[in-house]
């Protein structure tokens, strides 16, 4: 069992106060976030048809929860892992214009997840996507949107402090940018996770860029599906999290693949068979807009702002019995 128990942990707020705080953070953040990035809230599916190619393959080994529907034979239905591909299709379907975008509540089940303080079988996040020009597919555009998101999170810190001054977590003043290769060059003796912890402890908040491809060492910093993020124009937003003494990922985001990077990345992963799927064909034929997008963890954000020791304190999920018992013994109230 991977469980960290902070010494002398005090959640500060009662369970009912925590529920109130969760609602306040979620309601306030999504409004400010949508306004800052010019995003419109829309509804999104919980499941998609497997043959559509719209589901997120994550690292390629996680199996989605699937089931059959009697009126749609010979095409299993999958609970989404994320909406990374669906959102890009939706932008075209709903006639969004350049520099307009959408966000939605994304709920997923990741049954193969290894649960711990930060990871749950249940995933809840704000998924967002925005149309950009082709010549805006660059690092400048990526950093601009990262800074916008960071600014909204910082503003939420002040909002939460005003209502819950004894419970709020104090965040750094700016975000530091570094590529996965630069991180490996600095700390070649460390694992990718250890590198993230090291750089986050030094800077407080870090955006690690260019994730998915092999580094010079021959390993990957982390796995990424080859058919939504452009591996040269993506990254993870991480905060140093003092209660657990580790990096806490709040968002994974990036500029999406175009017709060239899609083919290149599928070749690298030996997944060229996907090019025949409707979604991939639409990219190859330049039928979909060029976009930037990502996900922001709702429970992760609440956990960060409220200094909680376990994600189960801010979301209702299920946990191994021994984890439940250890949390009860150490004043960690799981919902």
CA angle 322, 109, 301 (to 5 degrees): 80
Q: Are strands 101-109 and 39-41 parallel, antiparallel or unpaired?
A: parallel
Q: Whose structure tokens read 């749609």?
A: 72
Q: What is residue 93's predicted lDDT score, i.e. its pLDDT?
A: 93
Tell me which residues are annotated as active site.
Answer: 56, 110, 125, 236, 249, 252
Q: Is the pLDDT of residue 34 over 60?
A: yes
Residue 257: count of CB within 10 angstroms of its CB: 27
**Banded pLDDT at 50 (limits 50, 70, 90):** confident
* Residues 145-150, mean pLDDT to the nearest whole number: 97
Q: Is the pLDDT of residue 132 over 70?
A: yes
| Nearest-angstrom CA–CA distance, 138 and 20 | 40
Q: What is residue 64's predicted lDDT score, i.e. its pLDDT?
A: 82
For the 15-329 domain, the top CATH level (class) is: alpha beta
Q: What is residue 58's predicted lDDT score, i.e. its pLDDT?
A: 62
Q: Are strands 47-49 and 122-131 parallel, antiparallel or unpaired?
A: unpaired
Q: What is residue 210's predicted lDDT score, i.e. its pLDDT?
A: 97
**Banded pLDDT at 156 (limits 50, 70, 90):** very high
CB 142 within 8 A of CB 255: yes
pLDDT, tens only, 52-75: 777 766 655 678 888 888 888 888
Q: Which helix (H) or strand (E) holds 261?
A: helix 259-268
pLDDT, tens only, 311-332: 999 999 999 999 999 999 999 9
3-state secondary structure of 119: coil
Q: What is residue 85's predicted lDDT score, i.e. its pLDDT?
A: 83
**Banded pLDDT at 19 (limits 50, 70, 90):** very high
Those residues whose C-beta lies under 8 Å from the C-beta of residue 229, and which sit 6 or more positions away, are 84, 211, 212, 254, 255, 256, 257
**Short-list 178, 191, 291, CA closest to 238:** 178
Domain boundaries defined on the chain: 15-329
First to last CA, the chain: 19
Q: What is residue 67's predicted lDDT score, i.e. its pLDDT?
A: 86
Q: Is residue 24 packed enough to be buried (19+ CB in 10 Å), middle (13-18) or exposed (0-12)?
A: middle
Sign of the torsion formed by the C-alpha atoms of 107, 234, 103 and 297: positive
| Nearest-angstrom CA–CA distance, 196 and 248 | 9
Mean residue pLDDT of the chain comes to 92
| Nearest-angstrom CA–CA distance, 98 and 100 | 5
Q: What is residue 83's predicted lDDT score, i.e. its pLDDT?
A: 85
pLDDT, tens only, 182-228: 999 999 999 999 999 999 999 999 999 999 999 999 999 998 889 98
Q: What is residue 202's predicted lDDT score, i.e. its pLDDT?
A: 95
pLDDT, tens only, 283-318: 999 999 999 999 999 999 999 999 999 999 999 999
CA angle 265, 268, 269 (to 5 degrees): 90
**Banded pLDDT at 281 (limits 50, 70, 90):** very high
């Amino acid at each position: 069992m991977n469980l960290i128990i902070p010494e002398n942990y005090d959640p500060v707020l009662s369970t009912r106060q925590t529920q109130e705080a969760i609602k306040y953070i979620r309601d306030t953040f999504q409004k400010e976030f949508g306004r800052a990035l010019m995003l419109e809230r829309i509804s999104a599916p919980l499941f998609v048809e497997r043959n559509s190619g719209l589901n997120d393959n994550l690292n390629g080994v996680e199996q989605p929860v699937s089931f059959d529907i009697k009126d749609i034979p010979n095409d299993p239905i999958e609970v989404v892992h994320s909406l990374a591909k669906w959102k890009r299709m939706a932008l075209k379907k709903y006639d969004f214009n350049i520099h307009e975008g959408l966000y939605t509540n994304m709920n997923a089940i990741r049954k193969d997840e290894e649960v711990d303080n930060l990871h749950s079988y249940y995933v809840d996040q704000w998924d967002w996507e925005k149309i950009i020009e082709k010549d805006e597919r660059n690092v400048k555009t990526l950093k601009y949107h990262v800074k916008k998101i960071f600014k909204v999170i910082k503003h939420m810190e002040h909002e939460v402090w005003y209502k819950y001054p004894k419970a709020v977590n104090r965040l750094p003043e700016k975000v530091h940018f570094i590529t996965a290769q630069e991180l490996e060059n600095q700390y070649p003796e460390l694992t990718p996770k250890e590198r993230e912890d090291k750089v986050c402890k030094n800077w407080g908040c870090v955006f690690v860029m260019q994730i998915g491809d092999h580094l010079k060492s021959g390993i990957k910093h982390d796995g990424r599906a080859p058919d939504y993020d452009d591996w040269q124009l993506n990254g993870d937003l991480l905060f140093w999290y003092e209660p657990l003494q580790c990096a806490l990922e709040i968002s994974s985001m990036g500029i999406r693949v175009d017709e060239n990077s899609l083919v290149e990345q599928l070749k690298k992963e030996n997944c060229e068979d996907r090019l025949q799927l409707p979604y991939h064909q639409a990219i190859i034929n330049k039928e979909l807009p060029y976009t930037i997008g990502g996900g922001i963890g709702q429970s992760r954000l609440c956990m960060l702002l409220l200094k909680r020791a376990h994600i189960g304190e801010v979301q209702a999920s299920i946990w191994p019995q021994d984890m439940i018992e250890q949390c009860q013994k150490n004043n960690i109230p799981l919902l």
